[in-house]
Amino acid sequence: MSRLIVSSLLGLVLFIGTVMAQTPANGVGVSSNSNAAAPAVVNIWPRIPFTRGKDLCQYHDAYGQTKSEQMRELTQTVRSLLREGVDSRNMVALLTTMDDQVNQQRKVAGSSPGMDVLLAGSLKAAVDKVYQERRPQTRRFNFFNPAPLNELLKQLKDPQKQAVWDPQVMRALSGVAYGTYAYAPTCRGDVVVTLHIDLTCGNTYHYQAQGFPEQVMQSIGQQVFDTFQQTQFPSKIKMGQRSLELLGSPGGAIGTAPTPQSAEKACHAMQARLPTAEEYEYLSNLGDWNGGVTCARGKLWAMANDKVMAPDLPNPSPVRSVAEFPGQNFSYYCVR
């Protein structure tokens, strides 16, 4: 039965990929170019299959020690049993019984179905929890449901019924997510979970966390939020009546330079400039989750004309001369 379910899920993923690849170029995230940018809003297929991988607990039980170490441990166990007065004729049977009991407990714990359902549901709950706590203006990561409500109710009543796919509706789908899980090598009830997100634009994202089944997806949910909600470079925002383009630095997002003059030259090379004090402040107020960049305390931000934005020194003004900060490094990003 499990093979049938996995085959069906894999078929579903392949079918979705085929539909999205045939979608016209004006659809959301239909490019197959691996260097294409991710869409502004990502809609992921709501069914997230998780496949069980190798049991790392059993693997480390067998290979976590050398053979000599295992024999030394077994010898110590035998000596302890002899000191307790166990009859040597019954010792092998006793050790075998104890080992069988441990294996039986693990078998019962691992054989019950539903771990994949738990992980998929926990991921959605974890992502929603982060969004509820951070409350960004625009949610950029969603679990997309392409079916009308009445069709969903029919599917709930008859799970064996084949869904009817509408290519026009599927155009809004950005990609699929799937994952694996395995019992962790600690053998203390936690699992190792990986999550993979493949977008139609060619971008792929991979996450991993370890913890108890009811908690492990909290870490991955936070990672997913950070990836898709954090300000992307390049991007554009509205500042009053004008548009401001955030380019980042030549090396990526936020850059570091030994002097403001060095940062200014880097921006000029990108046909851009350093932000003004007003722009730094406005983008910091927007925050990292709404298209801005938080001017984190503890950092110094480069400005033109050898000036520095120092958020930790607001009085009488956070705009200071570079001469006040000898030997410091300065963060920066370029705008246009």
| Beta pairing partners, 194 | 180, 208
Question: What distances in angstroms separate CA 59 from CA 65, 154, 266, 318, 332, one per listed residue?
Answer: 11, 44, 51, 57, 48
Alpha carbon distance 150, 163 (integer Å): 12
* pLDDT confidence of residue 73: 73
Sign of CA dihedral 126, 128, 131, 132: negative
Alpha carbon distance 181, 186 (integer Å): 14
* pLDDT confidence of residue 222: 95
* Mean pLDDT in residue range 41-53: 90
* pLDDT confidence of residue 148: 59
Angle at 165 between CA 225 and CA 127, to 5 degrees: 15
Tell me the three-class secondary structure of 133-172, residue by residue: HHCCCCCCEEECCCCCHHHHHHHHHCCCCCCCCCHHHHCC
Alpha carbon distance 71, 66 (integer Å): 9
Residue 301, pLDDT > 70, answer yes
* pLDDT confidence of residue 321: 96
Q: Locate tokens 């010792």: which residue?
A: 91
* pLDDT confidence of residue 19: 37
Average pLDDT over all residues of the chain = 80
pLDDT band, residue 172 (cuts 50/70/90): confident
Q: How many CB atoms lie within 10 A of CB 238?
A: 9
Instruction: Note the pLDDT tens digit of each residue in 257-282.
Output: 999 999 999 999 999 999 999 999 99
Q: Is 61 exposed, middle or buried (0-12, 13-18, 19+ CB in 10 A)?
A: middle
* pLDDT confidence of residue 153: 59
Angle at 316 between CA 315 and CA 319, to 5 degrees: 90
Alpha carbon distance 175, 254 (integer Å): 28
* Mean pLDDT in residue range 216-241: 93
Residue type, 170: M
Q: What is the pTM of this model?
A: 0.69
Query: Alpha helices, DSSP H only, in 33-90?
Result: 56-63, 67-83
Smallest Cα–Cα separation from 283: which of 319, 240, 249?
240
Angle at 126 between CA 123 and CA 129, to 5 degrees: 150
